[in-house]
Amino acid sequence: GEDVEQSLFLSVREGDSSVINCTYTDSSSTYLYWYKQEPGAGLQLLTYIFSNMDMKQDQRLTVLLNKKDKHLSLRIADTQTGDSAIYFCAESNQAGTALIFGKGTTLSVSS
């Protein structure tokens, strides 16, 4: 069935780059997404990539998509303490009616 896998924890120092990785199973997904959840809040869409793209850059964020390996990554340059949050990777389900989320990667940034 459809599944999205990501590592649960990542710890980095302020100013370093963070890379959060994700693998997914459904290659028919038109878009792939990264959501961010700050403590005590709901999820917010951080960025998304169209499935026919390899890379998308948005300020400090770089999304890389390897369709052959079904691998998605999110790179955060110059990571700040305010980037500490849970990051969820998501893809559309086969019916295109809902999103399938990974379990979330908790990013901890130390100063």
Partner 1 sequence: DVKVTQSSRYLVKRTGEKVFLECVQDMDHENMFWYRQDPGLGLRLIYFSYDVKMKEKGDIPEGYSVSREKKERFSLILESASTNQTSMYLCASSSIGTADEQFFGPGTRLTVL
Question: 50: part of which helix (H) or strand (E)?
Answer: strand 43-50
Per-residue binding string, partner 1, 32-71, x by CB under 8 A, is -x------xxxxxx--x-----------------------
Across-strand partners of 76? 18, 61
Q: Does 8 bind partner 1 (CB under 8 A)?
A: yes
Least Å distance between CB 87 and partner 1?
11
| Sign, CA torsion 42/84/32/63 | positive
Q: Is 76 exposed, middle or buried (0-12, 13-18, 19+ CB in 10 A)?
A: buried
Helix-strand-coil split of the chain, %, nearest 5: 5, 55, 40
The interface mask with partner 1, positions 70-109, x = CB under 8 A, is: ------------------x---x---xxxx-xxxx-----
Nearest distance in Å: CB 31, partner 1:
5
Chain residues in the site for partner 1 (CB under 8 A): 8, 30-31, 33, 40-45, 48, 88, 92, 96-99, 101-104
